[in-house]
Amino acid sequence: MSQIELMVAGGHEVIMEASPYGIEKKKLGMWIFIVSDACTFGAFLFAYGYMRIGTVAWGTPFGFSSILNGMIMTAVLLSSSLTMLAAVRAAQADDGAAVKKWLGATMLLGAIFAALHLREWFNLISEGWRLFANPTGGPAQFGATFFSVTGLHLTHVITGVIALGFVARGYKQGRYDQSHVETAGLYWHFVDLVWMFVFPLMYLMNAH
Amino acid sequence: MSSNRELTMSSYVGIGVGLMLIVCVEVIFTYQHMAPHTLLFALLCLACLEAYVGVMYLMHVKYERPILFWTIFPATLFVLGFLCYLFPDAFRMLNMRLMK
Amino acid sequence: MAGKVFAVVVVLVTLVTAYCVVTHVWWMPVDISVHGPKIDHQIEETILVAGLLFIAGQIVLASFVFRYGGATGKPKQIPGGAKPLVIFAFVLVGTEVLALSFIGSKAWGAVYFEAPDPSSLRIDVQAGQFAYYFRYSGPDGKFGPLHPELINEGNQNYFGLDPDHDPDAKDDIVTAEIGIPVNKPILLTLHSKDVGHSFYVRELRVQQDFVPGLSIPVHFTAIQTGRYEIVCTQLCGLGHYNMKAYLSVLSQSDFDDWLKKQAAMQ
Amino acid sequence: MAETQVHAAHHAPSQGFIRKYVFSVDHKIIGIQYLTLSMVSAFIGMALSWAMRIHLAYPDFRIPILGWLSPNGAPNGLMTPEYYLSLMTMHGTIMAFFVLTAAPFAGFGNFVLPIQVGAADMAFPRLNMSSFWVTFVGFLLAAATFFIPDGPPLSGWTAYAPLSAVGSVAGPGQGLGQTLWVLSIAMFCVASLMGALNFIVTTLDMRTKGLTLSRLPLSTWAWFIDAWVSLLAFAVLLPCGLLLALDRLGGTSFFIPGGLVFNDQLQPHSGGSPLLFQHLFWFFGHPEVYIIILPAFGIVSHIFPTFIRKPLVGGWKVITFAEIAVGTLSFVVWGHHMFVSGMSPFMAMVFSVPTLFITIPSVIAVLVWVFSLYGANIRFDTPMLYSLGFVSLFITGGIGGFFLAQPSTDSYLHATSFVVGHFHFTMGLSAIFATFAGFYYWYPKIFGRTMNEKLGKLHFWLSFVGVYCVFITLHLTGFAGSVRRYSAFVDDFMIPLMPAQRFMTISALLLGAAQFIFLFNAIWSRFKGPKSSDNPWGATTLEWATTSPPPFDNFGGRQLTVYHGPMEYDDEASVMQTSPEASIAGT
Amino acid sequence: MKTHQRIGATVFALLLIVAGLLRSTPGVRATAMGQVTGTVKLDGPAPHQKPIDMSKDPSCAQTRGGAPASGENVVVGTDGGLANVVVYISQGLNGDIPVASKPVTFEQKGCQYVPHVVAVNPGQHMTILNDDKTMHNIHPDPKPGGGNNAFNKSQLGGGPSLDVTWTAEEIAIPVKCNVHPWMHAFIVVVKGPNGVSGGNGSFKLENVPPGTYTLTAWHETYGTQSQKVTVAEGKPVTADFTFKAK
């Protein structure tokens, strides 16, 4: 389907864009949001990098069990991206039952991710890590950066799970169509991809 | 217009597995006792690769109009790239600190 | 009518401004530092370059408004269109800014990239809400370490020194006013005990912020004796406007006497 | 196949006062809400500047209303230093965020942009509504600081850490006041991000038939570029604000180094960096001044052709590419705010060069405006006078930039009133003048009535002369080293400048008084002004192709087709963008 | 209806009378009050007090008329009397302890606090004056959670006085002026009669009801000392303290 056509109107040749940008507005809106959110996450990670460079004897608190936990979380999040893809494809194929199934699976995986993450948090907190405290006696910046960066990500995951719930309900009720599922999917993949930076930078760089 | 039918579901599963493998490589790198900046460089390269694959395939930018790619990528990379300007001061913080 | 008035007002404003700048109605004080002339020269250079652009811009604006205000008939574009304008901007303004950044970077480099003279007199400066205190190393030439937890201004321990335990701190001389010998390179180490402050001496052409947590070096040589004000230019709280100290540039013998007197007051 | 998207059936007009005028999703109502909010804010901000100016020039003058508003901050109407700084902080915050960012961008952008692209509404009307109401909550939070015991924060609109981060120990107002301020700014960030997203998608996706990017009105172009700049800049201010809030409320030390002693008490923080705050803040802060000025560029470029009766020199391309260049470069120059801040002196050079080079696109824009006047038939209606005033102010303001862009000269002029004069010219008053231009220009479209021309001109002359009297003097005293942000003058070199201070205060009072002419004109004309035709200025863009004020869906269900660029003027003649007639100016 | 109102009014009036009686009890007791006087001495050489350099604010030197200033941590009179010692009753006061009605003045004069140590009752008014030409800020730092609120307020030279009250007992709230960092003082908030030793070390506690008490003396550098005293009606009792120089 050609996007740009030559139209003849009123004696003028007019270049027309059929759909001006060729990208559906919800999708474009989500992409624009992703751009800004990527910058927000970026600034958080840059602040972390700055702290990290500027701190003498940063310390590396994560043992292999934490890394393993992180890998499991990564695997869970990656699988949820795949189930999300399946949901989008089902929506495009107009298969309501499958959409419900796959969105449910995505939400479940998202919740598992959040639960695993919170478990990690509570482990650290019980060891004495706080936003402002380092139980090993080193600089307190690890707690501050770790909790704030992963906290921001966790907020995104939880928001995503809730949003997917709304999308699933709206889709079932016929208020939403496949474009909504696709837009929600973009957000979900984005949250997944942010984790691809958070995991190496916050976990692997802090493994001992 | 746009479509993500260019790939089959099994290819996507393949991509997912591939991404997980990259993560495994990252973990292996972590335990190679490299200098921190070497490790950081390696991890960032791999993470960028993952992000690129994710954006192009999972988020199927590859199958959208190219204009979408040009709408989002340059702006984001521009901001993230120039934020690097703040690192020289991080070294200042390391080297000129008052309290050792 | 409105156009002619506008043109006249713009021209008047331009001329008055130019007059004030050229005749130095309010102006920089005379420079007393070695590096200052470079900065003054750079400011003059910039006034020349920017002032010409300013006058030209306003006059051309005024004259076009004057000439074409309320005109009738077929409007026309400037011959050549936008191309000469863009070329003008790139070539002329581009050259100007290149020249400014080149000469300016030399002036900046002369202040900041040159290593301080190794024979410099080292003075430690601490800023806090809302006063400066200065520290001379005393006869041993060594500064005692700082212990922020010991800072007790009521007890006049402004720096948090511990002379009972640190031998280096014993002979440190802490003063509320900074005295420096004339024509001798000075190296200041600026550090703040609370928020950001700034060290601004107009006559020295020195302005440098204090960054809490960092110690920032500043070096200069004063070439004229006198007493000058040091003021804070970085918003630091309610006493910001009242945060100042005095810089006394003294002859070497006066300086020695002054420092002896200060040492006696410890 | 050309899809005909009919936006008209987008959403039905809401019934009921609340849905129609308060929680309205109609972009026109939201635009008016933004304009009203910023007008209220502008008068608050102006009143604050009056109080400050009076205090500076006549420190013994009592201002009873301040004593009533804050018995603590101004006992018996005499301002304490902390209250001066609080007012200064709120003047900066309110003016920079709630006036200069809100009015020309969110206000006019909301009202005009969807109409100019021929859409029935923004791409996401409900998101648009929440943008405004989140902004409004931010405004309330900022305003609330006036009514808490310690008053508003005193750390300036830049809120440098650690002054802003350690809490009330750093000064009155740094407790609850600063916390409310941070939350207010975070709200504003979120609102601006939503707004920017909406603007971008609307411009890209909602354009009507035939409205290619090359045919976009110049104001839409500017808003579109501006939306990008604010999308990226506010995205960085948000984390900066969040980290500051964490430092204040969560006990972290992102911006607070160790070993800080306030009032002889060691603070329980360690390891942070104040410079990081400055970097993150100015990464937003510098683009912010272009967020403020780019819509002004757009409004003026949009108004110019109407009143010079011919296209701008270079058509849409030169001015638009200048704007894009300015917007892009604005992200790589933020360090020029930090030349003397203890930043690496090498980075000072790195930031200085692009700062100087941003002059080139700015000069191109100015040259386009000035040389478009050549051979023009200039009509001096109030919008045009304000646009010309804008050009003059922008030239003057831009000149100061040369001094502040170079670290060597900046090391003398930094933090003097030269800087204050400079930014009031470039981003403050220039943007305000463009906003006035837009206001007089679009008023007939917004309310269907015309503003009084005589009062408008009087307002212009007083404002124009007043602005020069106040802010040129600030430049000049800056050369003498007059330090900014002082609540009183005790320094020997500041006291001789008192005559200048008094001159500025009197000029500022007159300048402020002139704004009441505008206020009266705006309110009076709303009810008593002569009814306006649909296209009173003989303009060509889509907002003039509909009724004044436009119907709910902007074009009464019509789907317009655009045939021309926005600058089809030739003396008296002009061709509407929607008119299939032959082009007369070749755009 | 009417009866109810009448009963209400009567009860209210009765309550008022009772309350009035209760309130006036201290006044009744005041007729038979005792007095404690004494001197505080420093045993040993007084530590050197550093001179204060006030050159930061030229108006300070102006107001002082050139009089030199020095630290006030230990102020010793000619005969070894130790000034700025707060003497108060730490134990033995029972029941409703009256609050002194006269406000205490706390002045900023020549860029120093006068007095350097001030004692107040909880609830007693404290008038803060600025006699200087320059601005001072009053920045007391009570212990967090101790019941007293920290504040930080500036007072313009010759500006209107500030009125402050403290709610909880607290031995030594440090006060500072950040504009003139050398300025510091202590506010001692204690219940009941109290006195601050003057330049010669003498102090006086007035209006002490008869009884046996623990009398405590507090000095900012040398800490506290206590002794028992018995106060009889209308008779002055003497109690001396001696602090050992470190």
How high is the pLDDT of residue A9? 32
Does B65 contact C at CB distance below 8 Å?
Answer: no
Q: Burial level of D51, CB count in 10 A (0-12/13-18/19+)?
A: buried
Residues 6+ apart with CB under 8 A from D236: A39, A40, A43, B79, B83, D280, D283, D284
Rounded to whole angstroms, how far apart are CA atoms A33 and D523?
38
Chain B residues 3-42 with CB within 8 Å of chain A = 3-5, 9, 12-13, 16, 19-20, 23-24, 26-27, 29-31, 36, 39-40
Contacts 24+ apart (CB under 8 A), D410-413: D410/D336, D410/D339, D410/D340, D411/C39, D411/C108, D411/C111, D411/C205, D411/C206, D411/C207, D411/C208, D411/D339, D411/D340, D412/C28, D412/C39, D412/C43, D412/C202, D412/C205, D412/C207, D412/D481, D413/C43, D413/D478, D413/D479
List chain B residues with CB under 8 Å of C214: 92-93, 96-98
List chain C residues with CB under 8 Å of D497: 26
Residue labelled with tokens 């029941």: E95
CB pairs under 8 A between C and D: 336
Q: What is the mean pLDDT of residues E87-111?
A: 91
Q: What is the pLDDT of residues D13-47, one digit of tens each?
A: 667 888 888 899 999 999 999 999 999 999 999 99
| Each residue's pLDDT expressed in tens, for chain D with a length of 587 residues | 233 343 334 456 667 888 888 899 999 999 999 999 999 999 999 999 999 999 999 999 999 999 999 988 998 899 999 999 999 999 999 999 999 999 999 999 999 999 999 999 999 999 999 999 999 999 999 999 999 988 999 999 999 999 999 999 999 999 999 999 999 999 999 999 999 999 999 999 999 988 999 999 999 999 999 999 999 999 999 999 999 999 999 999 999 999 999 999 999 999 999 999 999 999 999 999 999 999 999 999 999 999 999 999 999 999 999 999 999 999 999 999 999 999 999 999 999 999 999 999 999 999 999 999 999 999 999 999 999 999 999 999 999 999 999 999 999 999 999 999 999 999 999 999 999 999 999 999 999 999 999 999 999 999 999 999 999 999 999 999 999 999 999 999 999 999 999 999 999 999 999 999 999 999 999 999 999 999 999 999 999 999 999 998 899 888 889 999 999 999 888 999 999 988 888 77
How high is the pLDDT of residue E191? 93
CB pairs under 8 A between A and B: 140
Helix residue ranges, H only, chain C = 2-22, 36-68, 82-88, 94-112, 167-170, 252-264
Q: Are D27 and D111 in contact (CB under 8 A)?
A: yes
Q: What is the pLDDT of residues A102-112, one digit of tens each?
A: 999 999 999 99
Q: For the residues of D200-234, what is the DSSP string, one character each?
A: HHHHHH---BT--GGGS-HHHHHHHHHHHHHHHHH
The three-state secondary structure class of D546 is coil
Rounded to whole angstroms, how far apart are CA atoms D131 and D519?
26
Tell me whether residues C85 and D406 touch, CB distance under 8 A.
no
Scanning every residue of chain D, which has its alpha carbon at the shortest distance from the alpha carbon of A132? D252
Nearest to C154 among E55, E154, E184 (CB): E184
Nearest to B99 among D259, D276, D335 (CB): D259
List chain C residues with CB under 8 Å of D264: 151-154
Does E56 contact C at CB distance below 8 Å?
Answer: yes
Q: Which chains touch C (3 or more CB pairs under 8 A)?
A: B, D, E
- Name the CATH superfamily housing domain A23-206: Cytochrome c oxidase, subunit III, four-helix bundle (1.20.120.80)
Q: Sheet harboring E136-140: ordered strands across?
A: E117-120, E184-189, E170-176, E136-140, E153-155
Residues C235 and C138 in one domain: yes
Q: For domain E33-244, give the fold.
A: Immunoglobulin-like (2.60.40)
Scanning every residue of chain E, which has its alpha carbon at the shortest distance from the alpha carbon of C156? E182
Scanning every residue of chain D, which has its alpha carbon at the shortest distance from the alpha carbon of B92? D344
Does D5 contact A at CB distance below 8 Å?
Answer: yes
Rounded to whole angstroms, how far apart are CA atoms C50 and D200?
36
Q: For residue C74, give the nearest of D393, D570, E222 by alpha carbon.
A: D570
Q: Burial level of D164, CB count in 10 A (0-12/13-18/19+)?
A: buried
How high is the pLDDT of residue C16? 95
Low-confidence ranges of chain A (pLDDT < 50): 1-18
CA C249 to chain centre: 18
Nearest to A132 among D204, D242, D251 (CB): D251
The three-state secondary structure class of B40 is helix
How high is the pLDDT of residue C36? 93
Touching, E vs D (3+ Cβ pairs under 8 A): yes
How high is the pLDDT of residue B8? 86
Q: What is the pLDDT of residues E32-64, one digit of tens each?
A: 788 899 999 999 888 888 899 999 999 998 888
pLDDT reading at B2 higher than 50? no
Residue among D66, D80, D163, D263 with most chain E CBs within 10 A, to mutate: D263
- Domain covering D24-257+269-574: architecture: Up-down Bundle (1.20)
In this structure, the number of other CB atoms found within 10 A of the CB of residue C246 comes to: 18
How high is the pLDDT of residue A20? 64
Nearest to A1 among B1, B92, B94 (CB): B1
List chain E residues with CB under 8 Å of D490: 57, 59, 134
In this structure, the number of other CB atoms found within 10 A of the CB of residue C149 comes to: 13
CA E82 to chain centre: 16
Touching, A vs E (3+ Cβ pairs under 8 A): no
C59 compared with E7, residue with greater pLDDT: C59
D530 compared with E245, residue with greater pLDDT: D530
Q: Are E134 and E57 in contact (CB under 8 A)?
A: yes
Q: For the residues of D258-285, what is the DSSP string, one character each?
A: SS-EETTEE-S--S--HHHHHHHHHHHH
Confidence class of residue B5 from pLDDT cuts 50, 70 and 90?
low
Residues C246 and C134 in one domain: yes
Rounded to whole angstroms, how far apart are CA atoms C192 and A52?
23
Domain chopping of chain A, boundaries = 23-206
E runs forming strands in chain A: 4-9, 12-17
pLDDT reading at E26 higher than 60? no
> C-alpha dihedral over D319, D321, D327, D329, to 10 degrees?
-120
Query: What tokens does C78 get?
Result: 């400037």
Q: Is the ipTM value over 0.85, yes or no?
A: yes
How high is the pLDDT of residue A24? 86
How high is the pLDDT of residue A208? 83
Does B49 contact A at CB distance below 8 Å?
Answer: no
Domain that holds residue C108: 2-70+79-112
Scanning every residue of chain D, which has its alpha carbon at the shortest distance from the alpha carbon of E59? D490
Nearest to D406 among C104, C196, C213 (CB): C104
Does B70 contact D at CB distance below 8 Å?
Answer: no
Query: What tokens does B61 get?
Result: 């930018």
Instruction: State the total domains in chain C.
Output: 2
Q: Calculate helix-pair angle for D27-57, D498-528, nearest 10 degrees.
A: 150
Q: Which chains touch E (3 or more CB pairs under 8 A)?
A: C, D
Tell me whether residues A132 and D268 touch, CB distance under 8 A.
yes
What pairs with residue D494 in β-bridges? none
List chain D residues with CB under 8 Å of C154: 264
The three-state secondary structure class of E108 is strand
SS3 content of chain E, % helix, strand, coil (to 5): 15, 40, 45
How high is the pLDDT of residue C110? 83
Q: What is the pLDDT of residues D146-193, one digit of tens each?
A: 999 889 999 999 999 999 999 999 999 999 999 999 999 999 999 999
List chain C residues with CB under 8 Å of D81: 238-242
pLDDT reading at B98 higher than 50? yes
List chain D residues with CB under 8 Å of C44: none
- Phi, psi for D416 (deg, rounded to 5): -100, 175
Residues C100 and C175 in one domain: no
Residue among B93, B98, B99, B100 with most chain C CBs within 10 A, to mutate: B98
Q: For residue A36, give the nearest of D201, D490, C231, C234 by alpha carbon.
A: D201
List chain E residues with CB under 8 Å of D263: 139, 141, 176, 178
Alpha-carbon distance values, D208 to A19, A20, D9, D128, D445 (Å): 9, 8, 14, 20, 20
Indicate the pairing of strand C185-192 with strand C121-128: parallel
CB pairs under 8 A between B and C: 17
Scanning every residue of chain D, which has its alpha carbon at the shortest distance from the alpha carbon of C96? D356
Rounded to whole angstroms, how far apart are CA atoms B88 and D344?
7
pTM over 0.90: yes
Q: Are C207 and C218 in contact (CB under 8 A)?
A: no
Tell me whether residues B93 and C213 touch, CB distance under 8 A.
yes
Query: What tokens does C15 get?
Result: 């001329």
List chain A residues with CB under 8 Å of D196: 32, 36
- Indicate which CATH number applies to the domain containing C257: 2.60.40.420
How high is the pLDDT of residue E78? 79
Query: What tokens does C6 get?
Result: 């506008």
Domain chopping of chain E, boundaries = 1-32, 33-244
Residues C28 and C102 in one domain: yes
Touching, B vs E (3+ Cβ pairs under 8 A): no
> C-alpha dihedral over B79, B82, B88, B94, to 10 degrees?
10
pLDDT reading at C21 higher than 80? yes
